[in-house]
Amino acid sequence: MPASPSTARAINDRLALRLLQQEGPLTAGQLKQLTGLSRPTVADLVERLTVAGLVAVVGESGEQRRGPNARVYGIVADQAHLAALDVRTEGVSVVVSDLLGEVLAEASVPIGGDTGTGPAVERAVALVEQVAKEADAVREPPRGPVPGRGRLHTVGIGAPGLIDPATGELRDSSGLPAWHRRLVAALQDRLPARVLVENETNLAALAEQRDGAARERDTFVLLWLGHGAGAAVILDGRLRRGASGGTGEIGFLPVPGTSGLPSATDCEGGFHSLAGAMAVAALAAECEVVAEAAPYEPHAAALVRRAVATADAPHSGRFLDALADRLAIGAASVIAVLDPGCVVLGGEIGQAGGDVLAERVSARLVRMSPLPTEVRASALGGGAVLRGALLMARDEAQEELFAPAAPTHSRRLGAAPPDPRPA
């Protein structure tokens, strides 16, 4: 059944806007070439999007002739503002960007373990409000064709813990501070914006796939190596959550080389005991590797970075070899079940290890697994969570702003994107 005229217009508008987002400013002629639409159709959609305040003339193409085709159109970046939060056990980081992802303001605040739930929530919400104000994302909505332009539209949150696949909410976890779950509701109450929450490792995988080490890979596993150990699984372009949202809880994976077995409430004895930050720091101490701790970075990452810089020294080489042995155990278990073809060593520790650590892990996997697997170092490290949260917020905002009349589609992270073909 052919699409109705209104649906066809919405689909074409969405296609043009996404091309402008991906390619940057374009002329009407370039839009015609990239979309395959007719010249009158492109002229109509450009006029619609301009009247709606979604695109504007940003220059001229330099062509000799004058007219509509010589004008260069770009997305109005301040159509909406977005916020992203990286929520850790020890604090919160916030960035606010425009609709195209340009960061306008950012800040972090520590939240100690002795901070009460109420004060912790208030400190985090106040930080978001402060950063939004610095980015001019709390202005009064102006009169005009696009009420509310420039206001905070969507907030994306990356947090530890499991996301309930049925509700999309952060599940209770005895190992996480109570203020994590309270924060989502507090932001919804205080901010005139949509608030989304996602597991931090899943967001890191989204960022690595879009902008990092897993570009152009539709199947891979991100092995998150930060304060704890986790994984995100992308198969055939889709994030896999599992029946309870627990896919990737690799910290609980029973492995050799630990003093016991993990339990339902404690990952001690699992892969976490080999690859978590405390375990990596203890291994470095055994190998006599020392380094200065860096702000907002696990000390273990600084130790790995130091070892990589002095990899030819016996103690550094011994440490990196032992760490690669440990990481290969967890990676080989995942590979045997999923055969992802690519493993990204993510998080601050994965980024600190770089190609030196990735090559060591790869060499061990060749001996341990019959399945060919490429091992890559994270390109984004700990910053991948904020980047992923910003991408999630941008996708959600654009889904609404770019084609409000188009048929609805799933907006879950990892869901298949709408068909981009012109109607």
Q: What is the pLDDT of residues 213-249, one digit of tens each?
A: 999 899 999 999 988 899 999 999 999 989 888 899 9
pLDDT of 162 > 70? The answer is yes
Q: For 342-351, 402-411, 414-423, which range has the lowest pLDDT when averaged over its residues?
A: 414-423
Residue 361: name the closest of 269, 283, 382, 350 by CA: 350
Residue 150: the pLDDT is 62
pLDDT of residue 410: 37
Contact present, 359 and 388 (Cβ < 8 Å): no
Instruction: Give me the mean pLDDT over the 398-414 stretch.
Output: 54
pLDDT at residue 114, as a whole number:
85
Check residue 65 and give its pLDDT: 52
Tokens of 113: 């373990």
- Give the mean pLDDT of 298-323: 96
How high does pLDDT run on average in the chain? 87
At residue 173 the predicted structure's pLDDT band, cuts being 50, 70 and 90, is low
* Residue 144 or 208, more confident: 208
In this predicted structure, the answer to whether residue 412 has a pLDDT above a threshold of 50 is no
| Residue among 197, 169, 182 nearest 115 (CA) | 182
pLDDT tens-digit map of 59-94: 887 654 555 557 899 998 888 899 999 998 889 999
Mean pLDDT computed over 374-383: 94
274, amino acid identity: L
pLDDT of residue 2: 65
What percent of the chain clears pLDDT 90, i.e. is strictly above it?
Answer: 62
pLDDT of residue 417 exceeding 60: no
Give the pLDDT band of residue 3 (cuts 50, 70, 90): low
Output the pLDDT for position 276.
94
Give the per-residue pLDDT at 229: 93
**Per-residue confidence (pLDDT) for residue 93, from 0 to 100:** 95
d(CA 100, CA 78): 8
Query: What does the DSSP assignment read for 94-120?
Result: EEEEETT--EEEEEEEE--TTS-HHHH
Q: What is the pLDDT of residue 151?
A: 85
Q: Tell me the average pLDDT across 29-49.
A: 92
- Three-class secondary structure of residue 179 per DSSP: helix
Could you give the CA distance from residue 92 to residue 109 in angstroms, rounded to a whole number?
6
Selected residue with higher pLDDT from 340 and 244: 340
pLDDT of residue 62: 65
Residue pLDDT, tens place only, 116-150 = 999 999 999 999 999 999 998 765 544 444 445 56
